[in-house]
Amino acid sequence: MHDSDATRFLGRLACFLPLLGGLLLVNWIGEQAPVRRCLFRSLDDAAEALVSGKSIWVRTNMSDLKAVWIEHSHMRPEVIVLGSSRALQISGDWFGSRRVLNAALLGGDFVDAVALFEACLETGKTPKLVLLELNPTLVFADKTAFSAALAGYFEHAMLRYKVFPPLFFTGPLKLDGLRWDPRLFSNRAVWRVADRYEPGGAVLQPDGTSAWDASESHATPDEVDRSVIAAMHTLDFHFQQWRETSRPGWFNRRILQAFLDDLHARGIRVVVLLVPVHPAAFDYYRQQGGYDESWIRDEMAGRGIAVVGSYSPAAVKATREDFFDDVHVHASALHRLLREGGIVE
């Protein structure tokens, strides 16, 4: 009887093998360069507009667009900014005559930064300085997936670092080649030339800086305070983990160490940026165990890498007027942090 049950189970399981094989085949096809170029054709013109010095409004996945933009760009930057939306307002104008590429992402994290830096390397854009904005957990909620445009670059970086992820972190079984933004195939335009922010998307400048819904809210400090207090008690699990945890997993920390070793071997200077958290949010999240920057400072001190800023608003003299939500400061506050750290003019 038991043998019969096991046989039926294996038979049912075998019925799914053609489906899995089909998905793996489609995934492999989607990762091939000719297919990739075809699927991203709608972003080529957007990338060319940025390269030609135009600002654009965009409503597609910024990870895909920035990867395509880097591939199209002919500029070899002296400075590359990597990180999340907390670094998206860092302007090339702040760096004087130095050429700057802001490759930070809305919703980005450290492994996105690794993939984007790999894209820069493979397209001949090795900088002199990397400005790396970090969250203490490094990776958002144990991230296990990339946009289709970045997955290949991350895999290339892991091969170079000789860091081999767990089976289900990346590779064919993650089906990254199928993670296309469906908006790329809609009849509605995913981008257009635009000098001003418009709701429902983000404005991307030719240097990679961006304005989006939150940065353009124009909320008063009192309104921000109320939204911060509300946000602290309504976070979903993934954001809660992101903001109430201060230690990365061993694998993500290993990637950071390999990444920093790689930049050091290339003679690239690294500066780590820690962006302050709203005073009310910082007090709350620190009580929950978040935003402890000690391990980052220890790691960077051992490597002689400068750390600019702090998660603590008091440490960098940031006030409630500097914030437009719980974890983002206005561009003027970012500029002050970098100027006081001797990074910009």
What's the CATH number where 332 sits?
Answer: 3.40.50.1110
Has residue 175 been placed in a domain? yes
Beta strands at 202-204 and 56-58: parallel, antiparallel or unpaired? antiparallel
Residue range of the domain that includes 70: 32-340
Residue 19, in any domain of the structure = no
- Among candidate residues 274, 288, 275, the one with its CA nearest the CA of residue 325: 275
C-alpha dist (Å) from residue 332 to 91, 97, 286, 337: 11, 20, 25, 9
57 forms bridges with which residues in the sheet? 192, 203
**Residue 270, beta-bridge partner list:** 130
Please report whether residue 101 resides in a domain. Answer: yes
Closest CA to 278 of 253, 251, 236, 311: 311
> d(Cα 237, Cα 254) in Å, to the nearest integer?
25
Enter the pTM of the model.
0.86
Helix extents (H) in 271-320? 279-287, 294-303
Instruction: Give the pLDDT score at 168.
Output: 40
pLDDT of amino acid 242:
85
Per the domain annotation, does 262 fall within a domain?
A: yes
Map 79-122 to HEC letters: EEEECCHHHCCCCHHHHCCCCEEECCCCCCCHHHHHHHHHHHHH
Residue 11 confidence (pLDDT): 57
Q: What are the DSSP calls for 156-225, one per residue?
A: HHHHHHT----TTTSSGGGTGGG---GGGGSSS-SEEE-SS--TTSEEE-TTS-EE-TTTT----HHHHH
Position 187 in a domain: yes
Count CB neighbours of 48 within 10 A: 14
Classify 265 as helix, strand or coil: helix
| Domains: count for the chain | 1
pLDDT in the model for residue 201: 87
Q: List the pLDDT tens digit at each of the 345 positions of the chain.
A: 455 655 655 555 556 556 545 544 555 545 555 555 556 677 888 999 999 999 999 988 888 899 999 999 999 999 999 999 999 999 999 999 999 999 999 989 999 999 999 999 999 999 999 999 999 999 986 565 677 788 888 888 998 998 876 544 445 555 555 555 555 555 456 888 988 888 888 999 999 999 999 999 889 999 999 999 998 888 887 788 888 999 998 889 999 999 999 999 999 999 999 999 999 999 999 999 999 999 999 999 999 999 999 999 999 999 999 999 999 999 999 999 999 999 998
CA distance 83 to 134: 6
Q: How far apart are CA 94 and CA 329, in angstroms?
A: 16
- Asked whether residue 21 is domain-assigned, the answer is no
The residues, any chain, with a CB within 8 Å of residue 53's CB and separated by 6 or more, are 206
3-state secondary structure of 76: coil
Euclidean distance between CA atoms 95 and 191, whole angstroms: 28
* 3-state DSSP assignment of residue 42: helix
For the record, the structure tokens of 187 come out as 């009849």
Q: Is residue 4 part of a domain?
A: no
Q: How far apart are CA 104 and CA 277, in angstroms?
A: 18
Give the model's pLDDT for residue 146.
74
Distance between alpha carbon 345 and the CA centroid of its chain, in Å? 25
Residue 43: name the closest of 66, 75, 76 by CA.
Answer: 66
Question: Is 20 among the domain residues?
Answer: no
pLDDT at 73: 95
The predicted structure's pLDDT at residue 311: 98
Which pLDDT value is given to residue 163?
Answer: 86
